[in-house]
Structure 1
Amino acid sequence: MPGPIYLSRLLTDRAMAHLEAAGRSAGRTVRVGREAPPSREELAAGLAGADAAVLTLTERVDADLLAAAGPQLRVVANVAVGFDNIDLAAARAAGVVVTNTPGVLDRASADHTFALILAVTRRIAEGDRLIRGREPWVWGPRMLVGLDVSAGATLGILGYGRIGSAVARRALAFDMRVLATSRRATPGTTADGVTFVDTETLLAESDVVSVHTPLTPQTRHLIDAAALAAMKPGAYLINTARGGVVDEEALVAALRDGHLRGAALDVFEGEPAVNPALLDAPGLVLTPHTASAGEATRDAMGILAVDNVAAVLAGNPPLTPVG
């Protein structure tokens, strides 16, 4: 009898219906977790005996969990673009295919990134807090003045992949000058209105730096105290990639000493825990990892993960394999 498909956390209604239909068509039961992240014990119990698993970025999968799951586990579908929560070497050793959900969340993530750029440069959150504070106020020429992004400001994109290029298109529509780093482009070249440069040039010339690199051992704390010091005085930092790419303590110091004018983060090093120093830092806008939280996008992410599972269990190649 075919083994079950394990789903660690509830997906959107459309994605849940798609999973149930896929399970029925394959004659498989679906083992469904809760809406909240599972504990390690719950994750181990859910994986045990399953032929396939649909997981989210909150689930950490290592060699011990893969061994406890059993040799019948064939595929782990991550409902995310990033896959730093899964030990890929251990998965390869266990013969487990790992997939992710690239492409379907590019637009939503780019929209959120640009929303954060506007929120921090135009001091939207500060204005909201001022009104909600119920203190008397009166308009003035110096009140909450911020950066005019459409007046020739430069956006630097660290990591010109799918999401980074989508952010670039939005920035160009705002008449921004756009610089980017890319492993596939030679510094000094230009394409589609974007000038490719090295990291040092990007940090030195950008009014806004937006991070779009995956989290790897090489990119952990890529934005450290030295990188922040290399940024233009009064610049802004945006991170919608992975929290570990930015050294949060160094960022707080750069905000407090005034070297950076502001920053916006959608991801955090100790997520879901947030460094308390961030909460008191000036000029900082924070959102709870919601860059992909568009209705259609979250539907598409879950459906793609399910389709990856269905393909592998049917003996076909995965649609979006990792590695």
Structure 2
Amino acid sequence: MNKPRILLSRRWPESVEQRLAQSYDVTLNENDVPLGPDALAAAMREYDAVCPTVTDRLGASAIEGAGVRARIIGNFGAGIEHVDLDAARRAGIIVTNTPDVLTDATADIAMTLLLMATRRAGEGERELRAGEWTGWRPTHLLGSSLSGKVLGLVGFGRIARAVADRAKAFGMTIAYYSRTPKPDMPEGSYHASLADLLAISDVVSLHAPGGAETLHMIDAAMLKCMKPNAVLLNTGRGTLVDEAALADALRDGTIAAAGLDVFESEPKVHPGLVNLPNVVLLPHLGSATLETREAMGMKVTDNLDRFFAGQEPLDRVA
């Protein structure tokens, strides 16, 4: 019996690729260069399963139409905004993702950004590497302490809660904005208005899902609600932030600093952000630990195994 044919759009950890090769006829993207829309559309017509990442756009034209062979899209990542789920449902194609295994790694990156931005570590590292450091002095690159400061969390799912736990160890007070208050959180920590949360927060960390409802939820008007000494962090989705408005706010002192791990048009970064000293920019490292990426790949494999055995995948989103 022929093994199901599977395409991985990018290279995955070796241990995952080896496990997949035991059960499937796997095609690897050997040069690890992103596949274009035409190549992805062709893959949907050539393979039994296509396994994209968050950088691979699978729109309706790739998913629907004549000759589509793939019956499952096993996404390597929790976010699925790059896949047209409605088109997949219409075509009868199952879509899965990889929830639950990214929490700690992403929360750690949020704290990395928090510390780098509040302590101006990015500025200091660039100054030192450029040979411009003239030595210790009492007023050099003064940042801000975390103890007693308010961390405002936009969205309060697993990752936001993990960030809250870490921030409490630094003496921060937690406030949050979400659709509903959480019964296990202290009274007064919930804010039903995003603007109200921004106004009282010293650090704002974004953990909302992507999509049309949250597109540019942090725009020029919302940035003006923040304190002038506040810091904005984004490890959620790049589409949450109007990057042009953020660049203006950082340049004119509307807010003090920002730390970003995700961007609206990855791998492109808004040119207004690149040369600003008061923003920390990371290349989407939220889940970038070997342990996490292996766990993500194993989740995809588990879902594929169940699907091809005639069982319901555990992490089905469409």
Query: TM-score if structure 2 supplies the norm length?
Result: 0.94
Q: Does 1:173 align with 2:169?
A: yes
- Aligned-pair CA distance for 1:2: 5.2
Question: Does structure 1 residue 191 correspond to structure 2 residue 185?
Answer: yes
Contact 1:62 1:86 in 2 (8 A): yes
Amino acid at match of 1:20: A
Partner AA of 1:290 in structure 2:
L
Are 2:209 and 1:208 aligned? no
Q: Deviations over 1:254-277 (max 9, x none)?
A: 111111110011111111111111
Q: 1:164 to 1:194 in 2, by over 3 A?
A: farther
Q: Which residue matches 1:110?
A: 107
One-letter amino acid of the counterpart of residue 10, structure 1: R
| Residue deviations 1:94-115 (CA, integer Å, cap 9, x gap) | 0011111111010000000100
Inter-partner Cα distance in structure 2 for 1:77 and 1:243: 22
Equivalent pairs counted in the alignment come to: 315
Q: 2:300 aligns with which of 297, 305, 315?
A: 305
Q: How does 1:25-40 map to 2 (within 5 A)?
A: 29-34=25-30, 35-40=32-37
Match of residue 99 from structure 1: 96
Distance change (3 Å), C-alpha of 1:42 and 1:71: closer
Question: Distance in 1 between the 2:71 and 2:272 partners?
Answer: 42
SS at match of 1:147: coil
Consecutive unaligned residues in structure 1, runs of 5 or more: 24-28
| Secondary structure in structure 1 of the residue aligned to 2:196 | helix
After TM superposition, give the deviation of residue 284 of structure 1 in Å.
0.5
- Give the corresponding residue for 2:145: 148
Partner of 1:13: 14
Aligned partner of 1:300: which letter? A
Match of 2:123 in 1: 126
**Aligned twin of 1:26:** none
Amino acid at match of 2:221: A
Matching of residue 80 in structure 1 with residue 81 in structure 2: no
Instruction: State which of 228, 247, 253 in structure 2 corresponds to 1:233.
Output: 228
Q: How big is each residue's C-alpha offset from its partner over 1:116-158, in whole Å with a ceiling of 9 and x where there is no partner? A: 0000100111111121121351222211111101x20110010
Query: Aligned pair in 2 of structure 1 residues 175, 194: CA closer, same or farther (>3 Å)?
Result: farther
Task: Name structure 2 gaps, 5 residues minimum.
Answer: none
Following superposition, the deviation at residue 171 of structure 1 comes to 0.7
SS at match of 1:179: strand
CA contact (8 A) 1:74 1:312 kept: no
User: Does the 8 A contact of 1:6 with 1:47 survive in 2?
Assistant: no
One-letter amino acid of the structure 2 residue matched with residue 296 of structure 1: E
1:265 and 1:210 mapped to 2: Cα distance?
10
Distance in 1, matches of 2:119 and 2:210, equals: 29
Secondary structure of the residue aligned to 2:86 is helix
For residues 273-308 of structure 1, the C-alpha deviation after alignment (integer angstroms, 9 at most, x for no partner) is 111111122300000111110110011111111111
Asked if the contact 2:88/2:94 (under 8 Å) is kept, the reply is: yes
1:238-265 per-position Cα deviation (integer Å, ceiling 9, x unaligned): 0111111100011011111111110011
2: CA distance, partners of 1:193 / 1:177: 13
Any residues of structure 2 matched to 1:275-314 within 5 Å, and which? Answer: 275-314=270-309
CA–CA distance in structure 1, aligned partners of residues 56 and 66 of structure 2: 14
The one-letter code sitting in structure 1 at the alignment partner of 2:197 is: L
1:244 to 239, 242, 245: 239
- Give, in whole Å, the separation in 1 of the partners of 2:162 and 2:135: 38
RMSD: 1.8
**TM-score computed with the length of structure 1 as normaliser:** 0.93
Partner of 2:38: 41
Amino acid at match of 1:144: L
Q: What is the distance in 1 between the residues matched to 2:288 and 2:161? A: 19
Identity rate of aligned residues, in percent?
A: 43
The structural deviation recorded for 1:184 is 3.6
1:4 maps to 5
Q: CA deviation at 1:200?
A: 2.2
Determine the structure 1 residue equivalent to 2:269: 274
Partners of 2:66 and 2:143 lie apart in 1 by 53
Q: Quickly say closer, same or farther: Cα 1:19–1:120, change in 2 above 3 A.
A: same
Q: Classify 1:235/1:41 alpha carbon distance in 2 versus 1 (closer, same or farther; 3 Å).
A: same
> Please, which of 187, 210, 219 is the counterpart of residue 224 of structure 1?
219
Once the 2 structures are TM-superposed, how far is the Cα of residue 85 of structure 1 from its aligned partner?
A: 0.3
2: distance between equivalents of 1:251 and 1:197?
Answer: 23
